[in-house]
């Protein structure tokens, strides 16, 4: 039997969560499900489909449990959900989420604004989430996402030593992996290289995803820098939707379409089918009429003779 070649990198699509929580409109549950179906058809293997937060805070995520249940029909994808606390984690796990992510800010100011807790409180919350996972859903990965790891619009510069200390604390609290997020788009390639190198030195294989924003146009460059030091999981959002309601000035995520093109053009396989990925923009447009979608490659098209 010929072995099946696993793609070289994992593109984790965060649009249905990070993208939708950052727009003013609310996509209907039916439209979300159609969009997730289209993303799954394109070959995406991990999709963050919802955030389990109080509906009064994020009405766009009020149907989180329904969306998770629908996404679970796609047995080839990891259905991921963001949870801000133990209560959200329990609801997500009981809904069937196959991976949960807990955001913990390296910036104390952003942590207090985002989840109303200190960094130390959030590490304790992570420890409780891991214990709950062990009790009711053994084997489900719990990811710690270190937000504002590259700078914060509320606090300003975030010392790299603070980022690394927090990452180590999260690993010691039981996180399956620890990723770094450029929540405010303040990072640059040299900084990305340095931080991820240090993260690998501190926690090794538990180094997780690079979650980059394109606020200042450096999203792809930062992803490439992370790749070159060994990162193999990258968060991105179809059409570049996304941001953070609690980080003034933070704008969209790295565009999935551009990220896939970059890697495939380099000969780095993503496992994603380009025409089907482009087709996934249509249910997004239909579900959020009038919302601006981004992406250089969708506008320019593929080069003549493309073989990616």
Percent of the chain with pLDDT over 90: 79
Residue 2 pLDDT > 50: no
Q: Does residue 287 sit within a domain?
A: yes
Q: Does residue 131 sit within a domain?
A: yes
Tell me the pLDDT band of 161, cut-offs 50, 70 and 90: very high
**Own/partner long-range contacts of 271-277 (Cβ < 8 Å, ≥24 apart):** 271/6, 271/7, 271/43, 271/45, 272/7, 272/11, 272/42, 272/43, 272/44, 273/42, 273/43, 274/302, 274/308, 276/38, 276/41, 276/42, 276/43, 277/42, 277/43, 277/238
Residue with tokens 């955030």: 51
Structure tokens at 29: 């549950």
Residue 246 pLDDT > 80: no
d(CA 32, CA 287): 7
134 against 215, higher pLDDT: 134
Q: Does residue 306 sit within a domain?
A: no
Question: Which pLDDT belongs to residue 24?
Answer: 82
Alpha-carbon torsion (208, 214, 220, 221), positive or negative: negative
Residue 113 pLDDT > 90: no
Q: For residue 243, what are the domain limits? A: 30-298
Q: Does residue 123 sit within a domain?
A: yes
Q: How many domains does the chain have?
A: 1
Beta-bridge partner residues of 237: 255
Q: Does residue 280 sit within a domain?
A: yes
Q: Does residue 5 sit within a domain?
A: no
Note the pLDDT tens digit of each residue in 186-240: 999 999 999 999 999 999 999 999 999 998 899 999 999 999 999 999 999 999 9
101: region left, alpha or beta (phi > 0 left; psi from -120 to 50 alpha): beta
Residue 57 pLDDT > 90: no
d(CA 98, CA 240): 24
Question: Which pLDDT belongs to residue 245?
Answer: 52
Tell me the pLDDT band of 109, cut-offs 50, 70 and 90: confident
Question: Which pLDDT belongs to residue 206?
Answer: 97
- Mean pLDDT, the chain, whole residue set: 92
Burial class (CB in 10 A: 0-12, 13-18, 19+), 141: middle
178: Cβ–Cβ under 8 A, 6 or more apart, which residues?
Answer: 143, 144, 145, 146, 167, 170, 171, 199, 203, 206, 207, 208
d(CA 295, CA 240): 7
The pTM assigned to this predicted structure is: 0.94
158: Cβ–Cβ under 8 A, 6 or more apart, which residues?
Answer: 106, 107, 148, 149, 150, 151, 152
Q: Residue 244 catalytic?
A: yes
Question: Which pLDDT belongs to residue 99?
Answer: 98
Q: Are 19 and 242 in contact (CB under 8 A)?
A: yes
Beta-bridge partner residues of 211: 181, 235
- Please list, residue by residue across 175-214, b when 16 or more beta carbons sit within 10 angstroms of its beta carbon and e when fewer do: bbbbbbbbbbbbbbbebbbebbbbbeeebeebbbbbbbbb
Residue 55 pLDDT > 60: yes
Q: Does residue 21 sit within a domain?
A: no
Q: Are 170 and 178 in contact (CB under 8 A)?
A: yes
Note the pLDDT tens digit of each residue in 62-88: 999 999 999 999 999 999 999 999 999
Note the pLDDT tens digit of each residue in 273-296: 999 999 999 999 999 998 889 999
Q: Which of 33, 152, 170, 244 is catalytic?
A: 244
CATH number at residue 240: 3.20.20.70
Residue 3 pLDDT > 60: no
């Amino acid at each position: 039997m010929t072995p099946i070649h696993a793609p070289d990198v994992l593109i984790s699509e965060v649009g249905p969560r990070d993208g939708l929580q950052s727009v003013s409109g609310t996509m209907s549950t039916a439209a979300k499900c159609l969009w997730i179906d289209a993303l799954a058809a394109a070959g995406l293997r991990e999709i963050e489909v919802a955030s389990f937060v109080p509906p009064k805070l994020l009405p766009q995520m009020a149907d989180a449990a329904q969306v998770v249940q629908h996404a679970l029909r796609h047995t080839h994808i990891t259905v991921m959900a963001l949870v801000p606390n133990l209560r959200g984690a329990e609801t997500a796990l009981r809904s069937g989420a196959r991976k949960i992510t807990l955001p913990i800010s390296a910036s104390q100011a952003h942590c207090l604004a985002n989840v109303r807790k200190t960094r130390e409180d959030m590490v304790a919350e992570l420890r409780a989430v891991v214990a709950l996972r062990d009790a009711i859903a053994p084997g489900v990965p719990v990811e710690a996402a270190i937000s504002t790891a590259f700078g914060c619009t509320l606090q300003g510069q975030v010392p790299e030593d603070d980022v690394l200390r927090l990452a180590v604390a999260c690993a010691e609290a039981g996180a399956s992996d620890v990723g770094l997020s450029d929540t405010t788009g303040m990072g640059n390639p040299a900084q990305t290289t340095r931080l991820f190198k240090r993260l690998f030195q501190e926690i090794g294989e538990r180094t997780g995803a690079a979650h980059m924003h394109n606020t200042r146009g450096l999203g792809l460059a930062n992803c490439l820098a992370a790749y070159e030091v060994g990162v193999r999981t990258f968060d991105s959002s179809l059409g570049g939707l996304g941001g953070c309601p609690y980080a003034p000035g933070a704008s969209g995520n790295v565009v999935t379409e551009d990220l896939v093109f970059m890697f495939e053009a380099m000969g780095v396989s993503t496992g994603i089918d380009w025409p089907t990925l482009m087709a996934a923009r249509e249910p997004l447009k239909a579900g959020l009429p009038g919302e601006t979608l981004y992406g250089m490659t969708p506008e320019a098209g593929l080069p003549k003779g493309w073989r990616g």
